[in-house]
């Protein structure tokens, strides 16, 4: 069932460094190429999402550039008004000259006045005289622009701080997965834990198996996706995610892992991506946590160590030192071996049950004659 790519039969030590689609911390390792130039303008149209998703270093650079740039642009306008009106020091002023701005004598003082106006500092050394309508209109425009810039930048910073993926940082998966017997079935087990005491409401767990397959027509499909159902003992939806959970996938005839064995597992070429969706209880924001496992990170014949215990005071204690640790247990070599053994045991149990029932019921004897015994029959007594 699992298709092996030609040229991928490298040693196991090198295969551990294979390229993943999803890293262990959930980032997607993919890039887009040959995108049409016109489609790149879509990022500018959706500028809010673009600014929220860019890195913090660019957000801080944008923060400094926007504020400093706006102060400088308006300082040029204040400088132009003051120079046009003859308010600068050294200009020939006529008798009875009315100033528009006091104490703006150059570009530096104009920049300081612009900064003081937009940040509402107002030291009092530079101010409008109120005799020029243009200065009144400009100070209104700059004040409105300053408010808009403040709202926009504060919104970006708050949106980045409250991104749902930050909540996902406190949800962790085990470093490896294990295959062992669970409830009479061969299962693939993964452990997940919520490091915060606040719950993830409506949690759902599912998986995707990514592999390269070849269709009957000879077409090679890269990253073919197959659904993998994961469950816990309490179900698979609306989990009570208050303590670490052990997820398991039953390997049966409908599972894509059905043809695997302990020997062939390390030579396979696939990637198992596990997703956990939920809503943060404290912020009501949806988040998704994901990780991936390659064949070399799946241990056949191992089981996770217990991590939950109860203290003398009645509290439940979680020991995270054993969160990803496993111990070797008795496990069938392959799924076919396990099913054959189960069928043989069921056949033996069925035969033993029939034998026991046969002993209980007895054996019919057609030559046995049944007579009726009546109470009136005389009993002969030996003298």
- Euclidean distance between CA atoms 179 and 189, whole angstroms: 6
pLDDT at residue 58 in the model:
92
- Euclidean distance between CA atoms 289 and 196, whole angstroms: 14
Q: HSE of 42 in the Cβ direction (CA atoms, 13 Å)?
A: 6
Quickly count: other Cβ atoms within 10 Å of residue 114's Cβ.
26
- Euclidean distance between CA atoms 269 and 6, whole angstroms: 11
Phi and psi torsions of 112, nearest 5°:
-65, -40
Query: Does the CA dihedral 296-298-300-301 come out positive or negative?
Result: positive
Alpha helix stretches (DSSP H) within the chain: 12-15, 41-45, 47-53, 56-85, 107-118, 133-161, 164-167, 335-361
- Euclidean distance between CA atoms 114 and 78, whole angstroms: 7
**CA nearest to 16, candidates 221, 269, 272:** 269
* More confident: 355 or 102: 102
- Euclidean distance between CA atoms 139 and 283, whole angstroms: 39
Q: Indicate the burial class of 257 (C-beta count within 10 angstroms; 0-12, 13-18, 19 or more).
A: buried
Q: Indicate the burial class of 158 (C-beta count within 10 angstroms; 0-12, 13-18, 19 or more).
A: exposed
What's the average model confidence in pLDDT over 363-373? 46
Q: HSE of 111 in the Cβ direction (CA atoms, 13 Å)?
A: 7
Two structure tokens written together for 238: 């609306």
- Euclidean distance between CA atoms 287 and 276, whole angstroms: 8
pLDDT at residue 6 in the model:
34
- Euclidean distance between CA atoms 323 and 310, whole angstroms: 16
DSSP 202: E
CA dist 190 → 153, 187, 244, 280 (Å):
41, 10, 11, 22
pLDDT at residue 362 in the model:
45
Flag whether pLDDT at 379 surpasses 80: no
Element (DSSP H or E) covering residue 229 = strand 220-229
* More confident: 72 or 279: 72
Element (DSSP H or E) covering residue 304 = strand 302-304
What's the average model confidence in pLDDT over 51-67? 91
- Euclidean distance between CA atoms 245 and 170, whole angstroms: 14
Contact (Cβ atoms closer than 8 angstroms) between residue 187 and residue 251: yes
pLDDT tens for 206-237 read: 899 998 888 788 888 888 888 998 888 765 66
Say what the pTM is: 0.66
Element (DSSP H or E) covering residue 119 = none
Quickly count: other Cβ atoms within 10 Å of residue 280's Cβ.
20
What's the average model confidence in pLDDT over 140-150? 94
Which stretch, 122-136, 289-303, 346-360, has highest mean pLDDT? 289-303
What's the average model confidence in pLDDT over 295-323? 87
pLDDT tens for 176-194 read: 999 999 888 899 999 998 8
pLDDT at residue 378 in the model:
46
């Amino acid at each position: 069932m699992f298709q092996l790519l030609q040229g991928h039969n490298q040693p196991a030590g090198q295969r551990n460094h294979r390229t993943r689609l999803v890293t262990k911390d959930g980032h997607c390792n993919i890039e887009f190429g040959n995108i049409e130039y016109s489609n790149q303008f879509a990022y500018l149209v959706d500028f809010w999402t673009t600014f929220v998703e860019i890195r913090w270093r660019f957000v801080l650079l944008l923060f400094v550039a926007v504020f400093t740039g706006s102060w400088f642009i308006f300082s040029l306008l204040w400088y132009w008004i003051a120079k046009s009106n003859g308010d600068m020091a050294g200009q020939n002023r006529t008798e009875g000259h009315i100033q528009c701005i006091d104490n703006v004598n150059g570009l530096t003082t104009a920049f300081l006045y612009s900064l003081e106006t937009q940040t509402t500092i107002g030291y009092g050394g530079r101010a409008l005289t109120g005799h020029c309508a243009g200065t009144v209109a400009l100070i209104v425009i700059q004040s409105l622009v300053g408010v808009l810039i403040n709202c926009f930048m504060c919104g970006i910073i708050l949106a980045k701080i409250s991104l749902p993926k930050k909540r996902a940082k406190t949800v962790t998966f085990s470093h490896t997965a294990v295959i062992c017997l669970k409830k009479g079935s061969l299962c693939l087990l993964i452990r997940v834990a919520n490091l915060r005491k606040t719950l993830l409401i409506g949690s759902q767990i599912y998986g995707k198996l990514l592999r390269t397959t070849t269709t009957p027509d000879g077409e090679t499909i890269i990253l073919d996706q197959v659904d993998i159902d994961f469950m816990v003992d309490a179900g698979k939806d609306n989990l009570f995610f208050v303590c670490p959970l052990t997820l398991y996938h039953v390997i049966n005839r409908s599972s894509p892992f059905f043809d695997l064995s302990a020997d062939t597992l390390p030579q396979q070429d696939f990637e198992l991506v596990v997703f956990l969706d939920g809503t943060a209880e404290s912020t009501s924001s949806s988040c998704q946590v994901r990780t991936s496992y390659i064949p070399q990170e799946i241990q056949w014949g191992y089981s996770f160590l217990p991590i939950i215990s109860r203290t003398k005071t009645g509290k439940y204690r979680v020991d995270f030192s054993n969160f990803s640790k496993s111990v070797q247990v008795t496990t069938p070599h392959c799924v076919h071996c396990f099913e054959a053994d189960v069928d043989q045991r069921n056949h033996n149990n069925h035969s033993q049950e029939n034998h026991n029932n046969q002993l209980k019921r007895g054996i019919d004897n057609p030559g046995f004659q049944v007579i009726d015994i009546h109470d009136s029959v005389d009993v002969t007594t030996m003298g």
